[in-house]
Each structure stands twice: as structure tokens, then as C-alpha cells.
Structure 1
Amino acid sequence: MGILQGVKLYPKAIAWSMAISSAVVMEGFDNALIGSFYAFPAFQKKYGQRLADGTYGLTAPWQAGLSGAMNAGQVLGLLLHGFISERLGYKKTMLLALSVNVALVPLLFFAQNKQMLLAGELLLGLPLGIFQTLTIAYASEVCPVVLRSLLTIYVNLSWVIGQLLALSILKGLVSNTTEWSYKIPFAIEWVWPAVILSVVAFAPESPWWHVRQNNLEQALASLHRLLGKGAENEFDANHTISMMVHTNETEKKMLAGTSYLDCFRAKPFAELV
């Protein structure tokens, strides 16, 4: 299958993958905010302390803490994603992460001190970490191999788009000396989940996930939702599901009797080749 043929057969899969990947735009947007706020006078006065020269600012440890808190939360989100999505599915996991994101934004918007702000950054990093991994996994599973590299690259592009949007908004607010100079960007973080939730609610689940759950009828239904009009005439969807089942059984046999501890156990070279 060539790229053009893949686009012709899977236009809906491409659209759903790009829609799910838009969550990473929000992740890039959020990451660009906190470090930029250190230069905002209103933010410095609200969360910083009075310095020897009479100005306000955050100390270096607090700047490092606030900047690293979201990264730490994202690492935890990345680790949790695999366990959650394999049990709930990509769609439900995304809906859950977006809902948690909506619930946590008030911690940032209404933060009264830097401790509350730190807690908000750390907790908000959890759903953002899930977005990073889930979007790539979803893109990899709903599209044919020939399109996977392009759609997973689009996930990275979405992250850059989010940063560009954040910097554009911050550029427009940098001369604002009121608390709204940093509250408006925080408030915008409510917009992303609302838009993405309305799209994800109608998205098809990955047929690969249904196969792993032994739900072959649902897998076939999901696959049909990813195909373009008339695509069924060019290939056999049932045959594609059968290949998914075969691949899944092969992977299960390869993983039988192994655990994460095996990653840290030394084995003779002969067993590895």
C-alpha cells in the first residue's frame, strides 16, 4: 500500500487521529506558560517575594520547582497511561484525562500562593503526560503502517503549534500589569478540553484494543468507522481483523512468562540471539 492509497482508504482514520492529537496542542500550550510568567510583574508580585532592590521575584529554587513540577507530573502520567488505557481503552482514557484537566485548571486560575500553584502544576502534569503517549499509540493503531510515520510526526507538530499559540498570547499580554496578564492564559486552558471533549466523545475506539480484549465484533465495527466510502470494495475488513488476531496471539506467546523484572536481569548472550 502506498501513501496515496492509504489516504484514499483511511481518510476517516486520518481525521480522527489528527483530532485526538490536538490534545498535544494543549500540552505544548501549558508547558510554555509557567516559565514565561517569571517575567510578568503581576505574577512576580503575586507569587514572588520582595527583593533587596525593592522589586518582586521568585527565588531560583521556586522557579526550578514550578518549572519541574509539571514535568514530574507528566512522567507519572506517561507511566500510568499504559495501565489505564489497556483496561479502559483509548477513548475512555482520553475522556477521563480531559475531564481531570478541566477539574485541575481552577488550582492554577485561583491559586493564592506559590504552594498552591506548585500543586496545580504537578497534578495537571498527570493528564498532560497521558496525552503525550495516548495520541501516538492511537495514531499508530487506527492507521495503516504506511501512514503511521506521518501521523505520529503530526503529534510532535501539534506540540510545537501549542507552544507557538502560547507565546503569541503571552506576547499580547506582556504589557498588561494586572493579574489578568497570567489569569487569561490559565483560563484559556479550559477552552481546549471543552473543544476536544466534544470531538473525542464521537471517536471510534482502536480496533487493536478491541482485539486485545477479544471483542472481535466491536473491532470490525471500529475498523469500518475508520475507512473511507467504498473502501470495503478494495480490501477485506474481516481478513484485516484476522491478521490483527494473529499478531496479537503471536505477541502474547512472546510475552508469556515475562515481567518488568526481566528488564533488569542479566541473561547469557546466547539466549538473546
Structure 2
Amino acid sequence: MPMTAEKTTIEYVDKAQADENVPSSKEWNIEEDALAANSEEHDLGFVQAVRRYPKAMMWAILLSLTIVMEGYDTILTGNFFAYPEFAKKYGSYYPSIDDYQLSGAWQVGLKNASQIGPIIGAFANGYLSQRFGFRRVMLVSLILMTAFIFVTFFAQNIVTLFFGLMLCGIPWGVFATMGPAYSSEICPLAFRGYLTAYTNMCFAMGQFISGGVLDALVSRQDEWAYRIPYAIQWVWPLPIFIILWFCPESPWWLVRRGEYKEAEKVIERLSSKQDQNRARQMVSMMIHTNEMERDIDSGSSWIDCFKGIDLRRTEIACVTFMGQVSTGSAFAYGASYFFKQAGLSAADAYKVNLGGTAIAFVGTIIAWFVMSRFGRRTIYNAGVFTMAVFLLLIGCLDFGRAAVPAIKWVQAVFAVLWLFVYSMTVGPIGWTIPSEVGATRLRQKTICLARICYYIITIVANSLNPYMINPTEWNWNGKTGFFWFGSSAVTFVWCYFRLPETKDRTFAELDVLFSRQISARKFAETQVDLQEEN
């Protein structure tokens, strides 16, 4: 259907949704308004967009705060392995090293427990959010989160702790897939990328808080050294629940259900008072994009993610998320344990780890300024390449660590630099691209599939990394960097040939580029005229 200025009767609503919410053709001029809204999206600058849609930014920021909880736990469990009291409670004494250690098998088990749950949560969210909407699913997940924390807090043995972490992972999977999807659906093009990348800042915030808690309690010589960090998780659910009770539903979700007038009300609510008259144009653009995707065979089921042009879009989303792990995050984010095995004291190891999380937080802020200058593809590729170099250097330096004790500090510096580069590049962009690249009718499922792939590769990484570093297992220490260097190199090759540029593209324009099967390396330079496209 060409996008012309002629008035068109609305035929975009599923019959089950045809009710009083559906406007008549006399009220709406879909194609003309959609064309105007698409043009306005490109003309709108960042500051002007914030002034026009201040509440959209506010709600995207508030809902993504749920991801702080997953970020908090991401480094909590892995770094507990170097915690003296935690190791005494759940580990065993090894005379050969005169210290308590969790076996490699249980290190793998605990780290993977918090990845199995999110797989369940992400898969469930792909269905539940499509059926019940973002808001209701998020509120129920917060209630479940509050209940599941009790299991980890009161765990008296390692088996109970394993199941507690797995249960907590279920709502984490919902939070991780809901935040970027919601932000991409309520934010205009001008700050869509910043708010989806903000998801990574929420991770960094959680990791920084976790690092501070770990550093503050490492000297305690009782069970509260590891129980207090679990208890702190109760701080977030209640206030976030109260805030999100008032959040608006996604207008794209309402459009897909045919509730156009409700979608218009949401846009008005997200807009400043003087700009509420533009709400109908925005909804018209959503309606037209939704219909255009139907015309190019973009369904809304799980199987549709693997059919036709959507298979390519799913691949890009999945590998982009997986790249956050294949570039060495299991190694760098569990650095406290590596530092301790490399020879640093437990106190020094956690201080370096805390500094690393602080630098990661700063790096995420810097990423916003980088994103305004460079494209997603450029930033992501540069990050993968740079982190690969750091991992190679960590591996090479390990050959001299026995002769020169100070090398362990140089390795620590490179590990922190890895975190800094990751937080400026692959970290935030790894959230932005999956949020943009999927078809709007499949966005939630695409993000869920991508996140599930992330969790699966994280399980693999968590299964290997402890054995590589653990002195009672393979005892590779810093030579583990060689393994992750090779993994990063493979990721870089894929990125060069398959990762497209999505910066400054509306969802309708991305639909056109994918339908025309444009090469990933030519996305940025290809011109799209929606008025001439079918």
C-alpha cells in the first residue's frame, strides 16, 4: 500500500477487536498523518523531543529501574565465590590450598541457576505481554520477586540456594525483556536509542550497588556477610510497584489490539500539553507501520520470528545480545574471584571490583554522548575489537606473573579497562539494537528470543569460566583471556558482515530496508522514501 496523501478507510483491526474504539474513515486520515509523523520524527531534535514528550522519557526511565535488580545479582553470586564466609557456609575445605572453596561444579550450578530462571521468565513474557500488556505483567512480576527473595535469604544449604536463585531469575527474565521493549515503544526516535541504552545503565547501577555492598561486608565474620546482600533486594520491589501502578500501557500494544482511541489517549498523556494535538498523527504512523508489516508477511507468533525476512532480524537481535557474553563478560564481571586467585587479598579484590563497577557506570553515561556522534554498528564493532585486545594482553601477561608479582595489578587494570569499554559500547548498544531491529508486531518476542540466547550462552560461559580459573580445577588463571580473545574475534567477524546500522531509522524505514534485503554494510547509506515504497 503506497503512502500517499489520500484518505484511507481503516481496515487494520482484527475482527475480534472491532468495537467502539475503532474510528471511522471520516475521523482519521491514516496515510497522510503517518507520512507527516514519520517526517516529524526525523526533524525532531533531542531537546525538542524531551520538551514534547517529557512523560515518555520519565516512564521509560522508571520502568527500566526494575533491571537494577538483575544487575545487582549479576555480579553478586559470582563474586560471592571469593567471599570467605560464603565459602565456609556453602563450600568445602581444601588442604592443598589451605582455604575454603566451592567446587567447580557448584560454582557452575549457582551461576547458572540465575540464568535458568530468566530463560523461563523471558519465554513466558513473550506470550504474557502480548496477551495482557506490559503494565500488568510487570506488576505481577514484582510481587513474585518479593516472594522469591525469601528463599535465597533463608537458604540453609546450597541446594536451597540453587532453587532460590532459579526462582528469582523468573521475574528477572521479565524485567530484562520488558524494559527495552517498553522504552522503544513509548519513546520518539530522537531519544529512543538513549533510553534503550539506559537499560545498561540500570545494570551498571545494580552492579555498582552490589560491588559496594560486597566491599562493605567482606570483613564480617558471620552469616550476615552474605545474607544482608540478599536482603537488600527487598528494597526495590515495593516502591517500584507503587510507581508503575500509574504507568501507561504501550501505545503500540494498543494499536496491535485495534484500540486506536486508547492509544491516542496514551500519546496525549505522554506529550506536553501544547503538543497533545499531534497524538493522532503518531497513532496513524503506528497503524500504518503495523499494516505494512502485515503486507510483508510479518506475523505475530513465535514461529514467525524464524520465517522470511524476520529470520534475519531475529539473528541480528540474538547475536547482538550474545555478543555481550562472547566478548568475555563472564570473565570480567566475575573479576573478584580471578583477582583473588591471581594473588590479591580478598579485600583488595573487592576494592578493585568496586572501582571497576564505578568506571562501568561512568562508561555508560559517556556512551550517551558517543551514541549522538556515531552509529550503532560503528560503536559495537569498535568495542568488540578493543575488548579483544585487552583480553589478549591479560592472557599474555600471565606468563610473567610468577616472576613479576606486580603483573597481577596490570592484569587488574586491563580487566577494569575492559569494563569501561564494554560499558561505552557493547553493553548499551547490545540493548539498543535488539529493541530496534525486530518488526513491531514481533518486537517483544524478538527481544525475548534474543535475551534467551543471551542466557543460554551465559550458562555455557558460566560452566566453563570457573573451571578455567579455579585452582582446584584447570587453573588457567589469566590465560583464560586467550579463550575469550578467540571468542571475541569470532564475534567481530560476524559483526562486520551481518550487523546493520539502525541509528536514525524509524520502524517503518527499517521494515523497508529489511524487505529490500539491503546488505548490513549498506544500511546507513541507503535512502528510503516511504512515499514511494509499497
Normalised by the length of structure 1, the TM-score is: 0.90
Closer, same or farther: CA 107–264 of 1 in aligned 2, 3 Å: same
Give the structure 2 partner of residue 29 of structure 1: 72
Could you tell me how far apart the structure 2 residues matched to 1:257 and 1:126 are? 23
Could you tell me how far apart the structure 2 residues matched to 1:40 and 1:262 are? 43
Give the alignment partner of residue 187 of structure 1, picking from 231, 240, 249. Answer: 231
Give the structure 2 partner of residue 73 of structure 1: 117
What's the CA shift for 1:257?
10
Within the alignment, does 1:248 sit opposite 2:290 as a pair? yes
Could you say what the CA RMSD is over the residues aligned between the two structures, in angstroms?
2.1
Within the alignment, does 1:20 sit opposite 2:27 as a pair? no
Give the structure 1 partner of residue 245 of structure 2: 201
Gaps of 5+ in 1: 266-270
Could you tell me how far apart the structure 2 residues matched to 1:257 and 1:223 are? 23
Alignment of 1:53-202 (within 5 A): 55-202=99-246
Which segments of structure 1 move beyond 6 Å, counting only runs of 4 or more? none
What's the CA shift for 1:190?
0.8
**Count of matched residue positions in the alignment of Structure 1 and Structure 2:** 266
Give the alignment partner of residue 239 of structure 1, picking from 264, 281, 288. Answer: 281
Equivalent residue letter for 2:93: R
What's the CA shift for 1:51?
3.0
What's the CA shift for 1:73?
2.0
Is the deviation greater in 67-76 or in 134-143? 67-76
Closer, same or farther: CA 101–177 of 1 in aligned 2, 3 Å: same
Equivalent residue letter for 1:244: M
Normalised by the length of structure 2, the TM-score is: 0.47
Equivalent residue letter for 1:252: R
Assess if the C-alpha contact under 8 Å between 2:121 and 2:172 holds in 1: yes
What's the CA shift for 1:41?
2.5
Q: After superposition, what is the alpha-carbon deviation per residue over 1:12-61, rounded to whole angstroms, capped at 9, x for unaligned?
A: 11011000111111110011111121222222222123333664331111
Give the structure 2 partner of residue 4 of structure 1: 47
Q: In structure 2, the residue corresponding to 1:230 is in which secondary structure?
A: helix
Within the alignment, does 1:227 sit opposite 2:271 as a pair? yes
Assess if the C-alpha contact under 8 Å between 2:298 and 2:304 holds in 1: no
What's the CA shift for 1:229?
2.9
Equivalent residue letter for 1:167: G
Could you tell me how far apart the structure 2 residues matched to 1:261 and 1:197 are? 33
Equivalent residue letter for 1:129: G
Could you tell me how far apart the structure 1 residues matched to 2:300 and 2:171 are? 32
Q: After superposition, what is the alpha-carbon deviation per residue over 1:49-87, rounded to whole angstroms, capped at 9, x for unaligned?
A: 333366433111101110121122223322222111111
Is the deviation greater in 127-136 or in 54-63? 54-63
Could you tell me how far apart the structure 2 residues matched to 1:226 and 1:91 are? 15
Q: After superposition, what is the alpha-carbon deviation per residue over 1:99-153, rounded to whole angstroms, capped at 9, x for unaligned?
A: 1111110110011111111111112111111111110000001111111101111
Q: In structure 2, the residue corresponding to 1:42 is in which secondary structure?
A: helix
Alignment of 1:252-267 (within 5 A): 252-253=294-295, 254-256=297-299, 260=303, 263=306
Give the structure 2 partner of residue 268 of structure 1: none
Could you tell me how far apart the structure 1 residues matched to 2:300 and 2:278 are? 34
What's the CA shift for 1:272?
8.4
Could you tell me how far apart the structure 2 residues matched to 1:257 and 1:156 are? 27
Give the alignment partner of residue 90 of structure 2, picking from 40, 44, 47. Answer: 47
Q: Percent identity?
A: 39
Q: In structure 2, the residue corresponding to 1:50 is in which secondary structure?
A: strand
Equivalent residue letter for 1:40: Y
What's the CA shift for 1:263?
2.7
Gaps of 5+ in 2: 1-43, 309-514, 518-534
Could you tell me how far apart the structure 2 residues matched to 1:262 and 1:223 are? 28
Equivalent residue letter for 1:121: L
